[in-house]
Amino acid sequence: MSRHEPPKLQKSSLAGGYSAHSPDRKYDRRRDLPALIAVWPSEINDPTDGGRLVLLSKLRRALRMERRRGLAGHWTYDLARHAQLLNAYRHELAAAERARSRDGDEK
């Protein structure tokens, strides 16, 4: 390896071979949300439409705040956190849409 050549990254043996922030890791509401936003366990376990709306609004607010930090060049901005928030928001939004379409089919 030459002096200017970057080191080769190896697949980790931990967590199934992927890092904690890997996009290949499947989203899990119970595991991921408490690390991203302030939520109560009852909010995480609430499958109702109202519960989903509460989580979506909290995720939207956290995304907005993280985006502001990034645009301002603030030292606390974290690109990985921003990506995780966006991933969680997209998953929760898709789950809410699936639930809404399922409820519409039942009526």
41 or 106: which carries more pLDDT confidence? 41
Question: CA–CA separation, 52 vs 46, rounded Å?
Answer: 7
Task: List Cα–Cα distances, 22 to 40, 89, 105, in angstroms.
Answer: 25, 16, 35
The answer to whether residue 86 scores a pLDDT higher than 50 is yes
Domain range for 89:
28-106
The answer to whether residue 11 scores a pLDDT higher than 50 is no
Q: Domain for residue 4, yes or no?
A: no
pLDDT digits (tens, 9 = 90+) for 58-77: 999 999 999 999 999 999 99
Q: Domain for residue 18, yes or no?
A: no
Q: Domain for residue 14, yes or no?
A: no
| Number of domains comprising the chain | 1
Q: Domain for residue 53, yes or no?
A: yes
4 or 50: which carries more pLDDT confidence? 50
**pLDDT at 44 (0 to 100):** 94
Q: Domain for residue 16, yes or no?
A: no
pLDDT digits (tens, 9 = 90+) for 14-57: 444 334 455 557 899 999 999 999 999 999 999 898 999 999 99
Task: List Cα–Cα distances, 97 to 5, 44, 49, 53, 56, in angstroms.
Answer: 47, 17, 10, 11, 12
Label residue 5 by pLDDT band (50, 70, 90).
low
When the pLDDT of each residue in the chain is averaged and rounded to a whole number, the result is: 83
pLDDT digits (tens, 9 = 90+) for 16-25: 433 445 555 7
Q: Domain for residue 10, yes or no?
A: no
Task: List Cα–Cα distances, 60 to 67, 68, 92, in angstroms.
Answer: 10, 12, 11
